[in-house]
Amino acid sequence: MPRRRIRIRHSGSGSVIADGQIGWAITPFEGNYYIRRKNLVTDRFRVNYVPGLCPYKFLYVWLDFVTPDGTIVKNLGWKYWFPNPLFPFIWFRVAVAAAHPDIEIEEYECAA
């Protein structure tokens, strides 16, 4: 049976951000993708220390993305540093918004 996979790219640079199976590896939730460290293909995210607070997922920080040419894309992702224990699929994972204008989502299938 084929498995659904997803590849997430930064549209401006074409850089692959994440690649993996939909589910525990890359979890879609509320229009966002939460990416397990193993499936994060890039090391170009930088913590910018701007905090945020979600009433039920708790404390996070914004992440900037640095393209190969050095351009900084502000607040492309975020990471929960003090996550709600009821949502283990968001714990310490990089997250990106599926609807962000600088994000491209490619879904594909591969053999099991």
Domains plus CATH for the chain? 3-110 (2.170.150.40)
CA pair distance 40, 12, nearest whole angstrom: 18
Q: What's the mean per-residue pLDDT of the chain?
A: 95
Per-residue model confidence (pLDDT) at position 2? 74
Whether the predicted pLDDT of 108 surpasses 80: yes
Q: What digits encode the pLDDT tens for the residues 10-40? A: 999 999 999 999 999 999 999 999 999 999 9
Nearest to 62 by CA among 53, 71, 70: 53
Per-residue model confidence (pLDDT) at position 112? 63
- What is the longest distance spanned by two Cα atoms in the chain? 43
Per-residue model confidence (pLDDT) at position 111? 75
1: pLDDT confidence band, cut at 50, 70 and 90?
low
Kindly give, in sequence order, each residue whose CB lies less than 8 Å from that of residue 6, ignoring residues fewer than 6 positions away. 18, 19, 20, 21, 22, 26, 33, 105, 106, 107, 108
